Structure 1
């Protein structure tokens, strides 16, 4: 029963193959088994690839099954349409489009399995790429907030400089009236005279202005710092909201690109393996000598071609004979006087009827 199933997979005519030897039957059963297991590998590979796209097992299995059946049908068609002939060049030319198709199928089948086999290495590459994307994303978002934050920091620095300048002026006035009191500067009179009081009043006024300025600028600095905190919070929220997009950067295209970052030889080796599996039925048929099944198939085709040619020739002879007979019959009818008189009588009746109808129409239009 298993042999019959594999023969069915090979696309061979089971009725003709039953009349062949056991060895011939085993050969086509082996070809059918290769076709079947290639379709199974295609089903597994495509299911995994689609799972990375849909993240749903049942959807991936469903479409993977469709893809496996498609590959099975293509392989079965490829193998069954290669006919053994006496010329190897003719057979190779006949098989060349199918070999190209087999190469394409091998690429499609092998790529998802390569991604599964090298999954850990691919994950490492994706992790590095995600880290790079995260840093680049933070830098890109920061470019939107950095100018505003820098401007606010500059405003804070200006307010602090204003306080420092005013404080330096106040300290200078303090030194001035102290020196006046000590007699080391100004009038150089020891004691607290009128000049001392005047300088002391200037210092006290400047000190009051300094205190007022400190209070006002401190409030302004607090307000600016709250704006900076709000911008920092907004920046952090933007980074947080965009991070899931980067975390989800592990789809099919990303994994294929990550696979391309790995050394090429292991992937190429797996591709060659599947290429060998995919083309093995075709190569086997090309290299195998013409067997009993091929001879019987060729005989069946020859019988069908001869029968079709014979039928076409018979139809052409029937048409030619019938035309000749009709020509002779009508030639003989030309000399029949009775048929001539009957034809003439009917023509006269038709002309009379036409003349009467024309007359009635003309009278009606008057």
Structure 2
């Protein structure tokens, strides 16, 4: 426990030789140091996780993540340690707050940077589902855009195909009706358009000739429709429209699993909204509170230092700093005095030499 306490003292940035003289202050700085240490640990995990997604798929992704996580954690540890240790407890509460305000803003920025990758991991399942919806909508929009472009490009051919298809449907329906009338005439079924006499008479022959003529027209129209459809199919193949299809469930799972950091970060931001664009209050609150939790955790060492009363250790450090400043000033004054004395001695020596010269060689 003593070694662990000394380690946390080191994390808090205290002067351990001075702190050892005041046992009542030990636990306070153990708590501050532990908070700084675990903040740096979360930062290392966050940075490593973010770097893992940057190099995901690479054989050295884990090594890169470990290396960057350690470097990032040490950097955050060093900044937090400096922020806490640089707060001067000798001033008033207002002065301490003003002094700590830039450090709190820096801590907030660090908390935002730390929290984002961890939020990506916490909401991993929801992010995957949102990415699937996004990929599917994007693919559908892409296919719709291609279809609109294709239809605009071959507008004349599409119009001819629609007209021929409508004529084909009309001729098919008319032939079916004429064949039905011909059967009624042959079998003697009495209607407004048949004679009611059984047998293959002149009326039946005329109907059959009309039916054959319409059939020839239908064959000609069907041939034109088939040619146009073949042409359109070839154009679709040439323009790459045959290869564009909606993603299957398996393909969506694969795309979501290899999504990069930017896509996942976008999806995390969109979790606060439903797919129809309305606000999802529950998810938005969850994401916000988790982010605020990490920000508060990052600011906690500064708040603890501000909220703690001025203890004997703080007064001892203030006295030690004052004595060091006083000793430094005295040393500086002594150095200046010595320098001035040496200069005065040199001046006196030169003056004596001049007097001796003029005494030996008086001016003529």
Match of 2:121, SS?
helix
**Deviation for aligned residue 1:328:** 2.8
Unaligned runs of 5+ in 1: 169-202, 345-366
- How far the C-alpha of 1:72 sits from its partner, in A, is 1.1
> Superposition pairs for residues 201-350 of structure 1, below 5 Å?
221-233=225-237, 234-239=240-245, 251-261=263-273, 262-263=280-281, 264-337=284-357, 341=361
Higher helix share: 1
SS of the equivalent of 1:336 reads helix
Deviation at 1:104, TM superposition (A): 0.9
Question: 1:323 deviation in Å?
Answer: 2.9
1:48 corresponding residue in structure 2 = 49
What corresponds to 1:121 in structure 2?
Answer: 126
Matched length: 304
Q: How does 1:190-201 map to 2 (within 5 A)?
A: none
How far did 1:336 drift?
A: 1.6
SS in structure 2 at match of 1:237? coil
The match for 2:7 among 5, 25, 44 is 5
- Equivalent pair of 1:17/1:293 in contact (CA under 8 Å): yes
1:252–1:158 CA distance, 2 compared to 1 (3 A): closer
2:107 is matched with 102
3-state SS, counterpart of residue 289 of structure 1: coil
Unaligned 5+ residue runs, structure 2? 175-208, 274-279
Distance 1:114 1:158 in 2: 57
**Distance 1:299-1:142 versus aligned 2 partners, 3 A rule:** same
**Given the alignment, which residue of 142, 146, 157 partners 1:152?**
157
Q: Which residue of 2 aligns with 1:182?
A: none
Q: In the superposition, relative to structure 1, how do residues 272 and 307 fare at CA in structure 2: closer, same or farther (>3 Å)?
A: same
Note if contact 1:99-1:282 (Cα within 8 Å) is conserved in structure 2. Answer: yes
| Cα deviation, residue 73, structure 1 | 1.2
**Mapping of 1:345-364 within 5 angstroms?**
none
Q: Conserved in 2, the CA contact under 8 Å of 1:134 and 1:246?
A: no
TM-score, normalising length: structure 1: 0.70
User: Is the contact between residue 126 and residue 258 of structure 1 (CA under 8 Å) also seen in structure 2?
Assistant: no
Given the alignment, which residue of 111, 116, 119 partners 1:111? 116
CA contact (8 A) 2:9 2:33 kept: yes
Cα distance in structure 2, aligned partners of 1:133 and 1:314: 78
**What's the CA shift for 1:79?**
1.2
Q: Alignment partner of 2:327: what SS? A: helix
Q: Provide the alpha-carbon RMSD of the alignment.
A: 3.8
Q: Give yes or no for the alignment of 1:136 onto 2:144.
A: no
2:197 maps to: none
> What is the CA deviation profile of residues 157-184 of structure 1, one whole-angstrom value per residue up to 9, with x for unaligned ones?
667869x99xx9xxxxxxxxxxxxxxxx
Shift of residue 272, structure 1, vs aligned partner: 2.8
Distance 1:249 1:279 in 2: 32
Measure, in 1, the Cα distance between the counterparts of 2:162 and 2:124. 53
Question: What is the rounded CA distance, in whole Å, between the counterparts of 2:360 and 2:140 in structure 1?
Answer: 107
